[in-house]
Amino acid sequence: MTPLNRNQMAWRVAHDIPDGSYVNLGVGMPLAVVNFMPDDRDIVFHSENGLLGMRDLKPGEEPDSELVNAGKRPVRMLPGGAFFHHADSFLMIRGGHLDFAVLGAYEVAENGDLANWRLLDSKSAPAVGGAMDLVYGAKKVLVICEHNSKDGSPKIVKEAKLPLTGRECVSKIFTDHAVIERTGDGMVVREMIEGLTFDELQDRTGAKLRLANDWKPLITPDLPVEERPSRKKQVGEI
Amino acid sequence: MTPLNRNQMAWRVAHDIPDGSYVNLGVGMPLAVVNFMPDDRDIVFHSENGLLGMRDLKPGEEPDSELVNAGKRPVRMLPGGAFFHHADSFLMIRGGHLDFAVLGAYEVAENGDLANWRLLDSKSAPAVGGAMDLVYGAKKVLVICEHNSKDGSPKIVKEAKLPLTGRECVSKIFTDHAVIERTGDGMVVREMIEGLTFDELQDRTGAKLRLANDWKPLITPDLPVEERPSRKKQVGEI
Amino acid sequence: MIDKRRQTADEAVADIKDGSTVLIGGFGMTGEPRELCSALAARKVRGLTIVTNNAGSGEFGIGLLMKQGCVDKIVCSFPRVPGSVVFEELYEAGKLELEMVPQGTIAERVRAGAAGVPAFFTRTSWGTPLAEGKEVRTFDGKEYVMERAIRGDVALVKAYKGDRWGNLVYAKSMRNFNPVMAMGADLTIAQVSEIVELGELDPEHVITPGIFVNRVVQLEALNA
Amino acid sequence: MIDKRRQTADEAVADIKDGSTVLIGGFGMTGEPRELCSALAARKVRGLTIVTNNAGSGEFGIGLLMKQGCVDKIVCSFPRVPGSVVFEELYEAGKLELEMVPQGTIAERVRAGAAGVPAFFTRTSWGTPLAEGKEVRTFDGKEYVMERAIRGDVALVKAYKGDRWGNLVYAKSMRNFNPVMAMGADLTIAQVSEIVELGELDPEHVITPGIFVNRVVQLEALNA
């Protein structure tokens, strides 16, 4: 059993987003999703700092300090893109105009509660950004996160203990182990990585899961994660 | 004693507006104010349909059906003008960004209440337009109206009987007889036309007036009103 | 591929249902999406509530929608303009419900609906008959009226140029209510004078980003 | 004649008073009106409340304002970014009050202040610690939090080009919070890369109409 790496998780999320969608990617792991969109889909990426139709720079492309995404990293614009100010940008988010938000998580509860902005033991200042806007604004909230924390504790829990970002807002969770959908009838496992049994998955999960009758193996291409020069992790990168 | 004509009233209002002001002109008589602005003043006219920096067409200038003012009449733009949509236009009005609104009136009460959108005996539909936005939004509301209705009844009254546009909102009234300012201490006559006594003016007025110590004669140039082909008066032209 | 282009006004409005709330851009005849209104009128839909600034001139566009009996209720600020004969006849005959709303309050209520704001407070209309029955609340010593958001099932708008992603730009004062209405509905249909290639509209100059627009149809040329 | 041009950043900020609420545009370093902030910091004003998205990087711009002890309180959504050392030091020492506000709620509260809306309802932050102490109200079966408008005494913004009437255009993502903050204060001061002749900015492309802007000062060239 080999859990997915970050790129494979991003790839899996990318392949869940249908052609023609308007999508916001949260800072951190979600930002990688843009790199794995299937070529045959027109997806319009929204960045809360006022961009629609952005993409990551191509290798070797010159960065422009005036053209950055919500993670403050340089991007480029596709033909058909548009710039707008923050009030209009959050009108889009809060008014239900985005099809998907992809967010990281510290905890997702069985009822869909999400906590992803503040740890309890943190002595330093909190930082919420646009997460609380996105959780209620986007039509569907997709979460991308490791199935378990480094200490092995589950991120999908019975009840969230951390300060919430939003209540009952998560639609689907993409982890390195599984794809799990929140339904009217609880958390349903749609896909699991090969070599993992449902009981093993349940053991690693705080919330009660149910295996879909038509569940599938969670298979992605090999997508090695490049070593990047280490840098101080930004708050909000989950 | 010769009351001012409409052009002279508009001229007098125009000369009350200082250089650098942002001004909205209501539909009807107020629209004439734009024609009499002193040349040495930069005044930016706002039109609620989304224009800043408009002027009336010059004689012979070709009208453009896509470039009209709030009265739906063709205008031109000055260098430095801008277009914007209705929500932004009324943000400007309601957020206190305009220095002056010039409005017509059916009645102005002693306490500054204004009625200018609906007659009581009207069988047809009311029409409010942007008047209720302007009365509370502009820093100062200037009223331009005849001193008396055709039947001789005063337009400046003790208490308004018609449905209000706004309460305690009028700053100054420019009639064909006088310039009257609303102060913390009641209605004060600043200017009167020559040949009219204060008692005569008070007789033609429903509200209690007080003559300013430093009152002046109300003098304007000769500004004959051109005969225009008569047309059905628009609702809201007061 | 995202392609929001439609061939005709008829095709663009084909699935609008009876009883819909329809936001309509324009200010008088300037920027009125006349052909979309006419195509909708031709379908003889029934029971519409329309939200717009004026109540149409003549028997085309908004006037035709009313003439054809499509409209039960109109929400507007200034129904009567020269030529608003259809409105006047229906209104005086009691066949059309009118909700009179100050012009800025229409704009702000529609923007609120677009922005996920269910209600807001405004000074406009305080102390007047148009505030009757509305909640009044005092903030910092001044009274304000609570207004509810308006959300459309459909918006019909007119723009100058558009592209297949639904990005729109306007020409001069035709902008007026169009970008506001375009944001405010579940299904936004734009008629434009010209559909241009994707990328021809400068991203700095797009006024209505395509995220708000579902269908774009090219009609007459501007000023034709 | 309307001439909002000022010669230097120092001149532009010379009369900003102690205790002012200052709205500051920008998103991280992009679009941050750094020179205006630095000029204000050099005056060693005291007791400012600043409203902005991030809490500065390094010891310039917003960071310098804090470093110089000008700021008592910061209202922002995401204080910590790489290099926000001044903020972190002051915050952890209890020398800086922080009001944490969701990013969209900052934008909407400032816009409300600009639009004469004293309060509005939003779903954002409902059920979270950031809604504690705020009024919650149900509309159509869903709970919303009431948020109050923010109004600035001063706004400091950065734009690409401006003219003597105060019209502004931006370049790409430097737009961000700048047009919002520009609308939201009694005194709005813009630093631009280039002041152009009146009429050079196309009225279709103006993003911040001059009505919102009181002073314009030309500083460094873009990307210089």
Q: What is the residue-level pLDDT of chain D in tens, covering all 224 positions? A: 999 999 999 999 999 999 999 999 999 999 999 999 999 999 999 999 999 999 998 899 999 999 999 999 999 999 988 889 999 999 999 999 999 999 999 999 999 999 999 999 999 999 999 999 999 999 999 999 999 999 999 999 999 999 999 999 999 999 999 999 999 999 999 999 999 999 999 999 999 999 999 999 999 644 44
Residues 55-84 of chain D with CB under 8 A from chain C are none
Nearest CA in chain D to B22: D211
For residue C76, give Cα distances in angstroms to B137, B185, C117, D21: 20, 39, 20, 38
All residues of chain C having their beta carbon less than 8 Å from the beta carbon of residue B166 are: 126-128
Taking a C-beta distance cutoff of 8 angstroms, is the pair C112, C87 a contact?
no
Find the helix or strand (DSSP H, E) in which A141 lies.
strand A140-144
The mean pLDDT of A43-48, rounded to a whole number, is: 96
Taking a C-beta distance cutoff of 8 angstroms, is the pair B110, B122 a contact?
no
Structure tokens at B204: 């033609």
**D123, C116: Cβ pair inside 8 Å?**
yes
Say yes or no: C214 contacts chain B, CB-CB below 8 A.
no
Q: What band does C222 get if pLDDT is binned at 50, 70 and 90?
A: very low
Residue C117 has pLDDT above 70, yes or no: yes
**C80, B167: Cβ pair inside 8 Å?**
no
Strands B51-56 vs B75-83: parallel, antiparallel or unpaired:
antiparallel
Confidence (pLDDT) at D106: 98
CA atoms within 13 A of residue C36's CA, in its CB half-sphere: 30
Span D95-120, pLDDT tens digits: 999 999 999 999 999 999 999 999 99
One pLDDT digit (tens) per residue for chain B, 238 residues: 899 999 999 999 999 999 999 999 998 899 999 989 998 999 999 999 999 999 989 889 999 989 999 988 999 999 999 999 999 999 999 999 999 999 999 999 999 999 999 988 777 789 999 999 999 999 999 999 999 999 999 999 999 999 999 999 999 999 999 999 999 999 999 999 999 999 999 999 999 999 999 999 999 999 999 766 544 444 444 4
Report residue A73: phi and psi, to 5°.
Answer: -105, 145
**C104, B94: Cβ pair inside 8 Å?**
yes
Type of residue found at B162: L
For residue B44, give Cα distances in angstroms to B99, D165, D201: 10, 9, 16
- Terminal alpha carbon distance of chain B: 24
Say yes or no: C2 contacts chain A, CB-CB below 8 A.
yes
Cα C96–chain centre separation? 18
For residue C113, give Cα distances in angstroms to A5, B43, B90, B166, D135: 41, 35, 16, 26, 20
For residue C159, give Cα distances in angstroms to B130, C171, D76: 23, 7, 37
Instruction: Round to whole Å and give the CA distance between A51 and A86.
Output: 10
For residue B172, give Cα distances in angstroms to B13, B112, B142, B182, D92: 10, 9, 5, 6, 55
Residues 42-101 of chain C with CB under 8 A from chain B are 53, 77-82, 87-88, 91-92, 98, 100-101
Instruction: Round to whole Å and give the CA distance between D51 and D20.
Output: 11
Instruction: Round to whole Å and give the CA distance between B180 and B191.
Output: 7
- Identify which of A19, A80, A92 has the shortest CB distance to residue C165: A80
Say yes or no: C212 contacts chain B, CB-CB below 8 A.
no
Instruction: Round to whole Å and give the CA distance between A213 and B79.
Output: 68
Beta-bridged to residue A108, according to DSSP, are A114, A156
Q: Sign (positive/negative) of CA torsion B76, B81, B86, B89?
A: negative
Taking a C-beta distance cutoff of 8 angstroms, is the pair B28, B22 a contact?
no
Span D11-30, pLDDT tens digits: 999 999 999 999 999 999 99
What string of DSSP letters covers chain B?
A: -----HHHHHHHHHTTSPTT-EEEE-SSGGGGGGGG--TT---EEEETTTEEEEEEPPTTPPP-TT-B-TTS-BEEEEEEEEE--HHHHHHHHHTT--SEEEE--SEEETTS-EE-S--TT--S----TTHHHHHHHSSEEEEE--SB-TTS-BSEESS--SPPSBSS---EEE-SSEEEEEETTEEEEEEE-TT--HHHHHHT-SS-EEEEEEEEE------PPPP----PPPTT--
Write the ipTM.
0.96
Domains and CATH numbers, chain A: 6-55+69-152+160-176 (3.40.1080.10)
- With contact defined as 3+ CB pairs under 8 Å, the chains touching D are A, B, C
Taking a C-beta distance cutoff of 8 angstroms, is the pair C71, C99 a contact?
no
Taking a C-beta distance cutoff of 8 angstroms, is the pair A77, A45 a contact?
no
Say yes or no: D178 contacts chain A, CB-CB below 8 A.
yes
Taking a C-beta distance cutoff of 8 angstroms, is the pair B36, B56 a contact?
no
Type of residue found at D104: G
**D165, B19: Cβ pair inside 8 Å?**
no
In chain A, % of residues over pLDDT 90? 84
B48 is catalytic: yes
Beta-bridged to residue D217, according to DSSP, are D6, D191
Structure tokens at A173: 């969770």
The mean pLDDT of A85-113, rounded to a whole number, is: 98
Confidence (pLDDT) at C57: 86
Confidence (pLDDT) at B60: 92
All residues of chain D having their beta carbon less than 8 Å from the beta carbon of residue A64 are: 172, 223
In chain C, % of residues over pLDDT 90? 93
- What DSSP state is assigned to residue D129? G
**B136, D116: Cβ pair inside 8 Å?**
yes
Higher pLDDT, A1 or A42: A42
Residue A186 has pLDDT above 70, yes or no: yes
Span D171-186, pLDDT tens digits: 999 999 999 999 999 9
Scan for tokens 């010669």, then name that residue: D7
Confidence (pLDDT) at C159: 98
Q: Which CATH class is domain C18-100+151-218?
A: alpha beta
> Which residue of C106, C120, C145 is the best one to mutate when testing the D interface, meaning the one whose CB has the most D CBs within 10 A?
C120
The mean pLDDT of C173-191, rounded to a whole number, is: 98
Question: Model-level pTM?
Answer: 0.96
**C108, B126: Cβ pair inside 8 Å?**
no
Confidence (pLDDT) at B125: 86
Taking a C-beta distance cutoff of 8 angstroms, is the pair B218, B191 a contact?
yes
Instruction: Round to whole Å and give the CA distance between D63 and D88.
Output: 10
